[in-house]
Amino acid sequence: MSPFRLTRTLPEDATDAALRADVLQGLTGSPRTLPPKWFYDARGSELFEEITALPEYYPTRAEREILLARSGEIAEASGARTLIELGSGSSEKTRHLLDALTGLHTYVPVDVSESALTLAGRALAAERPGLNVHALVDDFTGSMTLPDTPGPRLVVFLGGTIGNLLPDERTAFLASVRAMLAPGDALLLGTDLVKDEEVLVRAYDDAAGVTAAFNRNVLAVINRELGADFDPAAFEHVAVWDAGHEWIEMRLRSRERQTVKIPALGLAVDFAAGEELRTEVSAKFREERVREELDAAGMEPVRWWTDEGGRFALSLSVA
């Protein structure tokens, strides 16, 4: 049994304060928006796990294919002694990397969910004698304090989650990652790629309706946390491809004119019939754009791998 430590940087009440601020700002603005990070309560995380197994949702399988094929190369190129995973969740895909990184000293999973970190972190520490697991409860979109562990460091951000950030948020995020790295440290980034519109839209609007349930779940989160009275069934799930921005948008479209009360914020929100609330942006990338953005953040892209189908990419860049 290896050492397992957990450090909480994020204050216990930060999540609640952030949710209130986001809901207030997002539902009083025009157009109405909610940040996608609020999808992931226990039910939302369960629904997302279901999404990753859907026939239409290819990114998880495509990324796993790359990790399976390339973990050895990634390990060799990075020589990492510390592996930091942002938004680690269940740490499932990371196992291939952990197997390949033979000289690894410490694994640092970072997530806002303490329960996910404890579950995954303890299991890993038990399975891998000699590996230190130091979990961080933190919001990786802010600046983070990392434990003092040996370099080189490899930061990994998988799943294509960087696509959830808007362009200026992405710039700030890459700059904050760059700031955590010393010369010779590296970033492994997963990005979903631009492809046929039909394939993209189906991935976010599956036949079984799992993504629709995932989308509506954010309303249940606001009902529970802020005492709101959203009727999730009164909103239709919408997934559209925005060709100008090259991103998928998920929206919830009000089926009728309705007023929703959010007592914790002293707020009543009117929705017109057909009015849409944007709940997620999921940007899709081209190699050139990924390179440019990494370069602008002061990172040097050194490797680019895709799955056989060319649907998803992992890139490795060095500080």
140 is known to lie in a ligand binding site = yes
Q: Which of 71, 106, 132, 161 binds ligand AVJ (CB under 6 A)?
A: 161
Sign of CA dihedral 191, 291, 94, 40: negative
Helix (H, G, I), strand (E, B) or coil at 183: coil
252 in Cβ contact with 277 (< 8 Å): yes
- Asked if 45 touches ligand AVJ (CB under 6 A), the answer is no
Nearest to 108 by CA among 126, 96, 94: 94
Q: Which of 109, 121, 152, 163 binds ligand AVJ (CB under 6 A)?
A: 163
| Count of residues near ligand AVJ by CB under 6 A | 11
Residue 142: CB atoms within 10 A of its CB come to 12
63 in Cβ contact with 158 (< 8 Å): yes
- Asked if 94 touches ligand AVJ (CB under 6 A), the answer is no
Residue 103 burial (10 A CB sphere; 0-12, 13-18, 19+): exposed
Closer residue to ligand AVJ, CB minimum distance, 158 or 262: 158
- Asked if 164 touches ligand AVJ (CB under 6 A), the answer is yes
132 in Cβ contact with 105 (< 8 Å): yes
Site string for ligand AVJ, 195-234 (x = CB under 6 A): ---------x------x-----------------------
Q: Which of 59, 109, 121, 301 binds ligand AVJ (CB under 6 A)?
A: 59
Binding site for ligand AVJ (CB under 6 A): 51, 59, 159-161, 163-164, 204, 211, 280, 282
The annotation places the binding site for S-adenosyl-L-methionine at 87, 93, 111, 139-140
